Amino acid sequence: MPKRRVSRSSGGTFQLLKVHSVDRNAQLYRLIPCSGRDALIEEIRANDVTILLGETGSGKTTQVPQYILESGLARNGMIAVTQPRKVAATSLAHRVAAEQNGTIGDLVGYAVRFDEKSSPQTRIKYLTDGMIVRELMSDSTLSNYSVIIVDEAHERTLRTDLLIANLKEIQKVRNQPQDAKGKGNANSTNPLKIVVMSATLDAEKFSKFYHNAKILYVKGRQHPVKIYHSAESQLDYADAALRTFFQIHTDRPPGDVLIFLPGQEDIESLQKSIDLFAKQLPSDKPAVLTCSMFAAQEHSQNNKAFNPPPPNTRKCILATNIAETSITIPGIKYVIDTRKCKEKQYLARLSGGGFDTLLTRDITKSSAMQRSGRAGREGSGVCFRLYTEDAFNNMAISGEPEILRCSLTSSILNLKCLGQNLEELDLMDKPDSDSIASALKTLWLLGAIDNNQKLTPSGRQMALFPLEPQYACAVVASKEYACTSEILDSVSVLSSSSKLFLDISEQRDAVAEARRKFRHGSGDHHTVLNAVRAYREIAASENKHARREWCRKHFLNERTFLEARDIREQLVVTCRRVGIDPSVSAKDNEDPVIRSMGHGLAGNSAFLQPDGTYKQTMGQTIVKVHPGSTLCDKKVPAIIYDDLMYTNQIYARGVSAIPKSFFMSLSVFKQRKA
């Protein structure tokens, strides 16, 4: 089928084209032109669900909500726009508020964790997908909204998937036509419109899920990017990237280079090689400045990639997926795509709990397109794919949705509170039965559900805490052990998005030395507590600058402390609600803290074997203590751990020693062993 792309200027800020049919094999969209804004509003007015397919830079996320507002389609309620990321939600809201000439929180607002700006006047609200899923718990039909726009739906985050499934159910209730007796359904006066926004390639799946909803196409404003594939497949992607970079450097006009690599290890070694070769360049060639970018790296270091290079210098940025969606680096004209990324995948196991794997794998087509697009943000660019065109054509269209590759423990607990079962939910992709069974077993071990899979009173309490069920269980248990204050300190740090202990490979010895100050013989949980206590002392007596300097000197991430403080405040409120005194402290008594954690982490435990290895108490897996743990190289009879991660071996992270006798007192353990 020939590619037939008909477009007409819309007069608005973007062009709108209606997709008539999708030819999957050719992967071309046959497009029928519409006239922009009015046509879009008419389509949304006429249909319960609209799928909006759009290239990046089309402005759909900022413009469409405003069009809907001005059209009066949302007269009965707010317009929600959901985002997978907090920064996106807040920055989009600020931009749209400015376009509406208003202050943020007035007509246009946002809601993300720890930060909400909205008022009774708010009509357009940007929120994270997690936030709206949470709202579902208190208002099961989301009655405050008349239009819900699900943005970045193609990312298929766990929460977006749960939202999409629930929205289908909500529409059944709210969009019911008046019944034959003329007795109108109370809800039919407040129907719900759904707009699903997605990047190209996978729109058809959303359409099928929503009873063949119409797909509309929004044309983007990206600059053209010339794409080169390699003629033959490359065995060594790092070496291929090195050669490609110097080819660009010697043959191509000025412009910075962005290299996508799977992880920190590859980044650091390739950076060294490039620096080494760059020194040997003839003096008439421009110089090379390399920067690296990955999440575990200090912010100040990551930020160097944003600085313009000195005159007559080409900047080369080596980055992980962090530069694919979350961060946009200015000045990039060339992209080198190694085809690789690392992805976390949860491996459900019926005995001993599941564990995460973190392995290098091939990227997907949408990822490859996203990467090449990074060369066309400011002008035309070039992308060098270190793989053949065949390889590209054979890539999966998009990644596996998160719901198929993460632990379901938390989601199942939350759904149980809503009276829903994950198995019965109409999801776009259903997790396999092993994954569900493994989560149910964990919940049973925690005492959150009974033998009939019914929520227990303490399970209902756990669900109220903004924590993984394991840590919520530890908080609930801390009441009995009179150490809630310490457990809150501990779990708030463990639940933070960033790690507390920074690792800088070049300063390994200095890092180890600084860490020794907080080191606690019983393991990582008390080591974290020691760091929290030390920071609290500094924070009480020193100013902001001194605090920051103290953290830097001890290789501690201050952002983690600050985030943990916010989380702790939320936990204190929840504790009071369920009758747990958050201020009760065990003082210097260490044992209660370990035992409380032991209740949450009973399934994450292992006994020392005669041969010196650790074997799971509730499974057969041999686990190794992670080298970053204070208990590495130490042998204790029994350990609990925060999680297992398989990279080269199965490593237990966040490890503490626990008396072996503790397990004998646990009823679930006795039941389990029997």
> Which segment (37-45, 105-113, 446-454, 666-674) binds DNA by CB under 7 A?
105-113
With CB under 7 A as the contact rule, the residue among 61, 128, 605, 616 that binds DNA is 128
Per-residue x/- mask for DNA, residues 383 to 422, rule CB under 7 A?
-------------------x-------x---x--------
Nearest to DNA of 19, 132 (CB atom): 132
Give the interface segment with DNA, choosing from 52-60, 540-548, 593-601, 624-632 (CB under 7 A).
624-632
Residue 431 makes contact with DNA by CB under 7 A: no
Among positions 627, 661, 667, 674, the unique one binding DNA when judged by CB under 7 A: 627
According to DSSP, residue 383 is labeled E
Instruction: Report helix, strand or coil for 674.
Output: coil
CB of 639 to DNA, least distance (A): 17
The SS3 of residue 238 is: helix
Burial class (CB in 10 A: 0-12, 13-18, 19+), 250: exposed
**Cα–Cα distance between 488 and 376 in angstroms, integer?**
46
Could you say which residues in the range 147-176 bind DNA, by CB under 7 A?
157
- DSSP secondary structure, 438-498, as one string: HHHHHHHHTTSB-TTSPBPHHHHHHHHSSS-HHHHHHHHHHHHHT-HHHHHHHHHHHTSSS
- Between 51 and 341, CB nearer to DNA: 341
Contact 294, 264 (CB under 8 A): yes
Identity of residue 42: E
Among 463, 476, 594, 657, which residue sits at the site for DNA (rule: CB under 7 A)? 463
- Residue closer to DNA by CB (options 538, 578) is 578
Please pick, from the candidates 73, 281, 391, 632, the single residue that binds DNA as defined by CB under 7 A: 632
User: Quick one: 574 or 585, whose CB is closer to DNA?
Assistant: 574
Distant-in-sequence, close-in-space partners of 210: CB < 8 Å, separation ≥ 6: 48, 49, 51, 168, 194, 196
Residue 85 CB-half CA count within 13 A: 10
Residue from 18, 95, 113, 672 binding DNA (CB under 7 A) = 113
> Locate tokens 């090195």: which residue?
242
The span of 222-230, 235-243, 260-268, 382-390 binding DNA (CB under 7 A) equals 260-268
Binding to DNA, residues 322-361 (CB under 7 A): 322, 326, 341-344, 358
The 10 Å Cβ neighbour count of residue 459 is 23
Nearer to DNA, 248 or 443 (CB): 443
Residues 324, 363: Cα–Cα separation, whole Å: 12
Looking at the Cβ atoms of 108 and 462, the one nearer to DNA is: 462
Smallest separation, CB 328 to DNA (Å): 12
Sole window of 291-299, 440-448, 483-491, 550-558 interacting with DNA (rule: CB under 7 A): 291-299
Q: How far apart are CA 148 and CA 210, in angstroms?
A: 14
**Min CB(426)–DNA separation in Å:** 22
Site string for DNA, 73-92 (x = CB under 7 A): -----------xxxx-----
Contact 455, 449 (CB under 8 A): yes
Candidate ranges 193-201, 242-250, 314-322, 584-592; the one touching DNA (CB under 7 A) = 314-322
**Binding region for DNA (CB under 7 A) out of 31-39, 217-225, 232-240, 625-633:** 625-633
The CA distance from 448 to 56, in Å, is 43
Residues contacting residue 302 through CB under 8 Å, at least 6 positions apart: 292, 293, 294, 322
Choose which of 28, 482, 539, 645 interacts with DNA (CB under 7 A): 645
In this chain, which stretch among 347-355, 385-393, 585-593, 641-649 interacts with DNA, using CB under 7 A? 641-649
112 binds DNA (CB under 7 A): yes
Provide the minimum distance between the beta carbon of 503 and DNA in the complex, in angstroms, as a whole number: 4
Question: Which of 651, 662, 663, 669 is the binder for DNA (CB under 7 A)?
Answer: 651
Count Cα neighbours of 179 within 13 Å in the Cβ-side half-sphere: 8
Q: Give the nearer residue to DNA in terms of CB position, either 618 or 652.
A: 652
**Nearest distance in Å: CB 376, DNA:** 21
Q: Which of 13, 100, 188, 647 binds DNA (CB under 7 A)?
A: 647
CB 123 within 8 A of CB 116: no
Q: What is the closest distance, in whole angstroms, from the C-beta atom of residue 186 to DNA in the complex?
A: 28
Residue among 674, 589, 606 nearest 640 (CA) = 606
As a whole number of angstroms, the distance between CA 660 and CA 607 comes to 8
Radius of gyration of the chain, Cα coordinates, nearest whole angstrom: 27
Mask 493-532, x = binds DNA (CB under 7 A)? --x-x-----x-x--x------------------------
End-to-end CA distance of the chain: give it in Å, rounded.
65
DSSP string, 31-88: EEE--HHHHHHHHHHH-SEEEEEE-TTS-HHHHHHHHHHHHTTTTTSEEEEEESSHHH
DSSP string, 612-634: S-EEESSSS-EEEE-TTSTTTT-
Shortest Å distance, C-beta 359 to DNA: 10
Output the smallest distance, CB 505 to DNA, in A: 5
Looking at the Cβ atoms of 470 and 605, the one nearer to DNA is 470
650 lies in the binding site for DNA (CB under 7 A): no
- Written in H, E and C, the secondary structure of 281-343 is CCCCCCEEEEEEECCCCCHHHHHHHHCCCCCCEEEEEEECHHHCCCCCCCCEEEEEECCEEEE
Of residues 547 and 626, the one with the C-beta less far from DNA: 626
Residues 60 and 52: beta-carbon distance below 8 Å: yes
Angstrom distance (rounded) from CA 10 to CA 185? 39
Segment interacting with DNA (CB under 7 A) among 34-42, 52-60, 239-247, 256-264: 256-264
Residues 220-249 that bind DNA (CB under 7 A): none
Query: Closest distance between DNA and the C-beta of residue 545, in Å?
Result: 26
Residue with tokens 């062009």: 15
Q: Which amino acid is at 155?
A: E
Q: Which residues bind DNA (CB under 7 A)?
A: 84-87, 111-114, 128, 130-131, 134, 157, 262-265, 294-296, 320-322, 326, 341-344, 358, 402, 410, 414, 463-468, 495, 497, 503, 505, 508, 570, 626-628, 632, 645, 647-649, 651
